[in-house]
Amino acid sequence: MISVEEARNIIHAQAPEWGEERVLLHESIGRVLAQPVVADRDFPPFHRVTMDGVAIRYEDFKRGERNFKVVGTQYAGEESRAVSNPGECLEIMTGAMLDASCDVIVRYEDVTFEDKSDGKWAHISDEEVFRFKNVHQQGSDQQTGEVLVESGAQIHTGIVAILATVGQEQVTVRRLPKVAVVSTGDELVEVGDTPQAYQIRKSNVTMIVASLMRQGIACQAFHLNDRVEELVRELPGLLEAHDVLLLSGGVSKGKADYLPEVLESLGVQKEFHRVAQRPGKPFWFGSYGEKAVFAFPGNPISTLMCFQVYCLPWIHQQAGVPNLGLTAVLMENFVFKPDLGYFLQVSVSHEGGQCRATPVQGNGSGDLATLAKVDGFIYLPAGQMVYGKGDVFPYYPLGL
């Protein structure tokens, strides 16, 4: 039996290459860029007007001119319009492209207009005029060919805007794994079935599949009965067709817990079996070439904890998603005497910038109903027995 830390290190030492894939831009949030994003034009791509007002030539203003004849109006989305003669101006709107014949925008608040016999005139009252006032100059943010976002960045809404601006309808990202989620056990029936008194519905694979799908990870659910011949027949195909195999049940010491023996007989290299932790002590992990096999104990709290603490962070690591490294403050003293790492179920609140964790009492790793009150797990390392109020521990929230 190995420690929690040893188990985590062994898992994270597995570093398969899943390659790259192209995804639609609007489906890319949360994914990790596999290539840098490069500006295909200047940012902004033209001298962009930032205030509604009038466009004038600074030389006219510097010469003492304060009254300008309005020779037209320009809106955003139109080609630029020129001022041909000294003393002329254009009314111009925010977002419009400023022509090279003008270099100052005086906002409407600093302009009064008068209609005369020879047309409309603008009087400038602003005396703090300088070249390119109220103009976002072409290329002042980024220039053509410059890197806007580095490879390896996790895409958020702001990066989506940048990608759209440079015309990327599809984005090259690090590929996420193909995952098979396998329930085992003769007692399991489908979620929509009415179970017999001795049967239970498939909650473990359902919660794992839901979590993976929420993060855009391609996964399929399968079920295998506790029959050696069925395991031997079906597991090789699942191993070949997927990057990651997640199994729930069949790894403890029961007479029908055949998975460890069968997996090894199929060529899966056992990396460890049994971790000094509660819940989830019988956790089994192995590798099959570049593929990873996680076999969780069948009790729902054990399956959920092992998935959240070991499997999901590893998938994130391989996909380039940053580790959040969350922590929480324990809000009451807690005693745990066995020399095991303990993943304590907690409810959390957020106050004063702290994540505060309060223990949730349950009836063991099979108490599924307790999860309605649980926000996540905090990790209490082995060997301490008494864990003090106010101490800070690693926190693994559900739903990530």
Between strands 200-201 and 269-273, the pairing is: unpaired
8 Å CB contact between 231 and 243: no
The string of pLDDT tens digits covering residues 261-290 is 999 999 999 999 999 999 999 999 999 999
CB atoms within 10 A of CB 48: 19
Per-residue DSSP letter, 33 = B
Between strands 341-351 and 334-335, the pairing is: unpaired
Tell me: do 313 and 244 sit in the same domain. Answer: yes
What are the backbone dihedrals phi and psi of residue 346, each rounded to the nearest 5 degrees, phi first? -140, 155
DSSP-assigned letters across all residues of 256-298: T--HHHHHHHTTPEEEEE-BSEES-TT-EEEEETTEEEEEE-S
Q: Is the pLDDT of residue 53 over 80?
A: yes
Does the residue 374 lie in any domain?
yes
Tell me: do 165 and 287 sit in the same domain. Answer: no
The string of pLDDT tens digits covering residues 149-203 is 999 999 999 999 999 999 999 999 999 999 999 999 898 888 899 999 999 898 8
Average pLDDT for 43-52: 98
214: containing domain:
4-18+176-319
Tell me: do 236 and 361 sit in the same domain. Answer: no
What pLDDT sits at residue 334?
Answer: 96
Tell me: do 345 and 313 sit in the same domain. Answer: no
Give the CATH number of the domain where residue 90 resides: 2.170.190.11
| Domains of the chain: total | 4
Tell me: do 290 and 201 sit in the same domain. Answer: yes
Q: Is the pLDDT of residue 253 over 90?
A: no
What pLDDT sits at residue 400?
Answer: 62
Tell me: do 99 and 236 sit in the same domain. Answer: no
8 Å CB contact between 302 and 284: no
8 Å CB contact between 34 and 172: yes
The string of pLDDT tens digits covering residues 96-135 is 999 999 999 999 999 999 999 999 999 999 999 999 999 9
Does the residue 141 lie in any domain?
no
What pLDDT sits at residue 254?
Answer: 78
Average pLDDT for 312-341: 93
Average pLDDT for 364-374: 86
Rounded to whole angstroms, how far apart are CA atoms 234 and 232? 6
8 Å CB contact between 282 and 251: yes
8 Å CB contact between 312 and 249: no
Tell me: do 167 and 295 sit in the same domain. Answer: no
| Whole-prediction pTM | 0.85
What pLDDT sits at residue 369?
Answer: 87
Tell me: do 216 and 242 sit in the same domain. Answer: yes
Average pLDDT for 244-260: 89
Does the residue 142 lie in any domain?
no
